[in-house]
Amino acid sequence: MELRPIAHIYTDFEEKFGIPRQSGRVQELTGRIVFTPGYRDPEALRGIAYFSHLWLIFDFTEAHRDTWSPTVRPPRLGGNRRVGVFASRSPFRPNPLGLSCVRLEQVCPAGKEGTVLLVSGVDILSGTPVYDIKPYIPYADSFPEAAGSYAQVWQDYRLTVEFPERWLSLLPAEKRSAAIACLAEDPRPSYQNDPERLYCMRFAGCDIRFTVRENVLTVQEVVREIDQNGEK
């Protein structure tokens, strides 16, 4: 069986650190789905605008391995407790396929990139290959009474974020709420709890450097990347 990317998704995350652990946790995060030339037939998207949410099947590009392990250590369990790989959503799987549910915000008419889908609630690295897109069907895909095991414990977990205005103002205005929401999700591995450690989340072309003490995340600095004109 050969899988071919039908599209690539472009988001504000150029690195894995800081990406929400589940889709939909940060609705402010957006992405552009650009179809590869061979799949830009607008007929393939006929009727998609009538669905509010989509399933994306994609490639965990940074999790490719020659071998696999039957157990993994979920970060939310402190990184020291093992569960079966099929009882987790770890990217380190026999086949590194990801599954995310995103909200369809807009179907952009065909341009030089063909028809582009704008989505929100993403949890995917920028440039990731997408292998398939399926509509989310509420009556078939939603089970409110389902048991969530250890993952359910973290459903309402959030950090308090202190983001001084002088640093927040360096981010593009339309990206600020998404950045704060991502930081509140606590990007750190659960086994790291050093209040003196300086972490860095690369987001929307900026390095956001922060510390965490007693469930309060404080942004210490924001460094914008240097553009082609040598300006920050």
Domain total in the chain: 2
Helix H or strand E encompassing 210: strand 206-213
In a domain, 71, yes or no: no
Task: Judge if 206 and 107 occupy the same domain.
Answer: no
Task: Judge if 13 and 45 occupy the same domain.
Answer: yes
Q: Give the tens place of pLDDT for each residue, 198-220.
A: 999 999 999 999 999 999 999 99
Task: Judge if 121 and 212 occupy the same domain.
Answer: no
Token output for 47: 């009727």
Note the pLDDT of residue 111: 83
- Cβ 108 vs Cβ 118: under 8 Å: yes
* Domain CATH number, residue 102: 2.40.30.70
Nearest CA to 10 out of 142, 118, 145, 121 is that of 118
Residue-range definition of the domain harbouring residue 55 = 7-60+96-141
In a domain, 135, yes or no: yes
Task: Judge if 106 and 186 occupy the same domain.
Answer: no
Note the pLDDT of residue 155: 73
Task: Judge if 187 and 163 occupy the same domain.
Answer: yes
Task: Judge if 135 and 28 occupy the same domain.
Answer: yes
Instruction: Tell me: pLDDT of 82 over 70.
Output: yes
Note the pLDDT of residue 78: 64
Q: Give the tens place of pLDDT for each residue, 94-124.
A: 999 999 999 999 999 878 999 999 999 999 9
The structure's pTM equals 0.91
Instruction: Tell me: pLDDT of 18 over 70.
Output: yes
Instruction: Tell me: pLDDT of 49 over 90.
Output: yes
In a domain, 84, yes or no: no
Q: How confident is the model at residue 228 (pLDDT cuts 50, 70, 90)?
A: very low
* Distance separating the N- and C-terminal Cα atoms of the chain: 46
Q: If you average pLDDT over residues 144-157, what whole number do you get?
A: 81
**Measured between alpha carbons, how far is residue 156 from residues 18, 74, 184, 220, 223 in Å?**
18, 17, 11, 25, 30
Note the pLDDT of residue 151: 77
For residue 147, give the amino acid letter. Answer: A
* Domain CATH number, residue 188: 3.30.2310.20
Q: If you average pLDDT over residues 134-160, what whole number do you get?
A: 88
Instruction: Tell me: pLDDT of 79 over 70.
Output: no
Question: Computed from CA positions of residues 61, 232, 118, 28, in that sequence, does the dihedral angle turn out positive or negative?
Answer: positive
- Cβ 20 vs Cβ 26: under 8 Å: yes
Token output for 9: 């998704």
Task: Judge if 51 and 13 occupy the same domain.
Answer: yes
In a domain, 68, yes or no: no
Q: How confident is the model at residue 227 (pLDDT cuts 50, 70, 90)?
A: very low
Lowest-pLDDT range, 49-58, 77-86, 137-146? 77-86
In a domain, 78, yes or no: no
